[in-house]
Amino acid sequence: MARPREFDETTVLEAAMNCFWAQGFEQTSVRDLAEWMGITGASLYNAFGDKRSLYRRAFVYYLAQTVHDRVARLDARPADELAKLLLSVLLGIRVLARTRPQREVLEGAGNGVLALLGIGVLTVLD
């Protein structure tokens, strides 16, 4: 019989998010995550699976805390104002593509636009 979890999932997800934010995915070890989260490595694996699965859960948590609120505020704007805003953002990405054509920079900017349009951002991670 499995033991009940002895940690608050929201608290440990926030700690994992902060760890990934501070160190980046590649530089973050499972040991780092366990220390930041205040749990054992075994508890981390049992609750969240591997590092990539935890990263995805932390990313979803981040979206729930930040992006969804922003999108809700944008939904309250008139459609023509929202269209002008999105057009400005897309034109900004076009300028960015000409000045800094690195893929990761463009994907980061593009994901924000996709989130504003209501397209699933997590499909980029699959």
CATH number at residue 31: 1.10.10.60
Q: Range of 82's domain? A: 67-120
How sure is the predictor about 48, in pLDDT bands with cuts at 50, 70 and 90? very high
* Domain-located, residue 34: yes
Q: Could you tell me if 18 and 43 lie in one domain?
A: yes
Q: How confident is the model at residue 110 (pLDDT cuts 50, 70, 90)?
A: low
pTM of this prediction exceeds 0.85: no
Q: Which of 7, 64, 65 is nearest to 36 (CA)?
A: 7
Tokens of 88: 């400005």
Residue-wise DSSP of 85-126 = HHHHHHHHHHHHHHH---HHHHHHHHHHHHHHHT--GGGGT-
Q: 10 Å Cβ neighbour count for 24?
A: 9
